[in-house]
Amino acid sequence: MKMGRLLVIAGSDSSGGAGIQVDLKTAQSFGVYAQTAITAVTVQNTLGVSAVNPVAPEIVSAQIAAALNDIGADIIKIGMLGNGAIAAAVADALETTDIPVVLDTVLLSSSGASLLDEAGISILKKRLIRRAVLVTPNMPETEALTGILPQSEHRLRNAAMVFKMLGSEGVLFKGGHGEGDMVRDVLWFGGDFVTFEAPRQATPHTHGTGCTLATAIACGLAQGRGMRDAVARAHVYVQAAIRTAPWLGQGNGPLGHTVLS
């Protein structure tokens, strides 16, 4: 299997439980070489986010250019953007490349802190979703972006059509915010819907699951896997990482990213 090259555009999490830090841990687990373009420095721990310091948009652009003009990338994963100016800078940078993009629509932190302003959401809908081979929203993010809370099969299909109109090639609807004994993620890709299910684990240690899942999928695509295969492998990895969480911190703790070691 080829190594694969990944460029992650996302924010830094000082607790090491999400964001750039988790993207690097996940990429290393899968044997993928990861580069980074940091969009914001956050002050946070397992109890929540207390401050966000955005990086200047021109520095974000310069990081992207430095990565792509030298080592290059087989896939780009976008996470936290922070604000409209940074989102626009990222969209501008992507205009000059046709590298596939996995877009994790980070709108809120696990503790509920806002991580993208209204201008940034507008850039997502108008410019970045159409660049994505896959978008990975959770249920609240799906509602924010489409106006539809995907609580039923009918609503999920309607939300998929909205994402299609926004230009995305595929969507993975994450079901972690749902109810019931099973967590149900649904992939819409190539006109088909594929469901991935796992028993819901009773644990507070799920910080960074969205970042981990999107990056794990991106790693699979960078290594030449098909979309369904990449999602299936990532889904299994995340469930194992939740199960082997180190139980650190007083709040929503990190996952066990070394589960493949």
* CB atoms inside a 10 Å sphere around CB 68: 20
Q: For 5-138+204-260, which CATH class?
A: alpha beta
List of residues 6+ apart from 50 with CB closer than 8 A:
43, 44
Give residue 112's pLDDT: 66
Q: What is the Cα Rg of the chain in Å?
A: 17
Q: Is 46 a catalytic residue?
A: no
The Cα diameter of the chain in Å comes to: 47
Residue positions counted in the chain = 261
Catalytic residue among 211, 212, 215, 219: 211
Pick from 5, 125, 159, 18: which is nearest to 79 by CA?
18
Q: Is 203 a catalytic residue?
A: no
Cα separation, 237 vs 135, whole angstroms: 19
Please name the residue that has the structure tokens 């970045």.
128
Q: Is 208 a catalytic residue?
A: yes
Cα separation, 213 vs 142, whole angstroms: 16
Give residue 10's pLDDT: 97
Positions in the chain short of pLDDT 50 = none
* CB atoms inside a 10 Å sphere around CB 248: 14
Catalytic residue among 19, 170, 174, 175: 174
Q: Is 190 a catalytic residue?
A: no
Give residue 79's pLDDT: 97
Cα separation, 105 vs 37, whole angstroms: 16
Q: Is 211 a catalytic residue?
A: yes
What SS3 class is residue 42?
A: strand
Tens-place pLDDT, residues 212-227: 999 999 999 999 999 9
Q: Is 176 a catalytic residue?
A: no
Pick from 101, 105, 79, 104: which is nearest to 19 by CA?
79
Task: Tell me how far CA of residue 81 lies from CA of 16, 38, 178, 192, in angstroms.
Answer: 18, 9, 25, 30
Catalytic residue among 19, 210, 220, 253: 210
Give residue 63's pLDDT: 98
Cα separation, 150 vs 139, whole angstroms: 6
Could you tell me the residue ranges of all domains in the chain? 5-138+204-260
pTM of the model: 0.95
Give residue 199's pLDDT: 92
